[in-house]
Structures are given as structure tokens and as C-alpha cells.
Amino acid sequence: MILLSDPRVAAVSSRDDGEPLVDLREVPGLRVDGRAADPAGAYARVRRGVADRLLAAQRALPAGLRLLVVEGYRPYRAQLDIFTGYRDELRRRHPDWPADRLHRETTKFVSPVEVAPHSTGGAVDLTLCDADGVELDMGTALDATPEESADACFTAARHIPVSAWRNRNVLVAALSGAGMVNYPTEWWHWSYGDRYWALMTGVSHTRYGPL
């Protein structure tokens, strides 16, 4: 399992092709949930190439299922606050952890700001819902931490209900088929064009840099 703390991620050359952000609330056919909404509406924005791939993934879903996007672009400050908040929580829970382990465990849930996929506009947190917007059981809540879920938030976790495991496989098949990459400790996190995507797909540089 390659984490965002892996030096190979930071070593990927960062470039930006200038592709604009689009507001998913204005994209017909995609559902956007407001639980992560911010006053500026950043949460609903992603790069155009990501929006195209979400639409392709949705077309690949079984009849009656839809993607439900929760968060896209995340500004630097917001990313830093989430990272330091979770790191400090882990430090309180595990005062015996050395600094390197603390950093590694933190990055299982939130990316260091230097390589954060969300801050490029190339990442989304999402889940599945039915035609009425009712969310499917995915085994854990979206944004469940490894600590609170006993690692059940890991995409390949098997200590979840069979129905949830099948739902995850549906999500994986649709998004992988559309060219997106999953962060393996978070079943809900998918990206395209960022450093993690580049490393996992063997591309020499990013399409999207930090915004």
C-alpha cells in the first residue's frame, strides 16, 4: 500500500495544464451533497477532466444507482487544518508514537498539504446512492478514520457486511474504468491528474498542480 507520505509521491514532477475548475452543481446528471459545503462553494468544484470522468463512471453504474459527490476542491488552508487536527488527535491518543509513525498514520486519513490531491482540484470524495438520493451501505461512514473504524475504511477491507463489500466493488469498477485512482485507505477518495494518480499510473508528471 502506497501512502501519500511516501517520498515517491512528492518526487513526481508537478505541472499544471491550466484546465479550469467546473462547478458540479451545474453539471446535469451529477448529484452533489452539501455536508461539506463552504461559503465559497469550493467543495463542489473539480477540474473539467475530473467532471468528465465522473460522468463516464456514472454511465457505467448499474441501473438505478448514482454517484453522490461530497467534496472536490479543498483550499490549502482547509487542508492544513484537517491535517494538523487529525495529527494532534492521534498524538493525544498515542503519545508513545515516534514522529515518523505519527506522520505515517496521519497520512492514512489526510494528505500532507505538499501533495494534497484535493488542493489540485483533481480529487473527489463520493459515495453511491439510489435514484432517490438514499445512500447505499458502504461499510463505514464517508470520512470514517482508520482509528474509529478499525481500518474498515480501507477500500479492500473484508470485515464489513457482504452487501457493503459488493457496493464498494461497484464503485471501484465504475471509477477505475473511467481512469480515476483510489487512495486505498479511503474507499470514498478518488483522483485524477494529481501526483498520486501520476505515480500509480506510471505517468512522469501531473496534469494538475495546487490551486
Angle between helices 48-60 and 162-177 (to 10 degrees): 130
Q: State yes or no: 159 annotated in a binding site.
A: no
Give catalytic residue positions. 186
Q: State yes or no: 125 annotated in a binding site.
A: yes
Contact in structure between 123 and 42 (CB atoms under 8 Å): no
Q: State yes or no: 118 annotated in a binding site.
A: yes
State how far the Cα of 113 lies from the Cα of 32, in Å rounded to an integer. 24
Question: Could you tell me which residues are annotated as the binding site for Zn(2+)?
Answer: 118, 125, 189
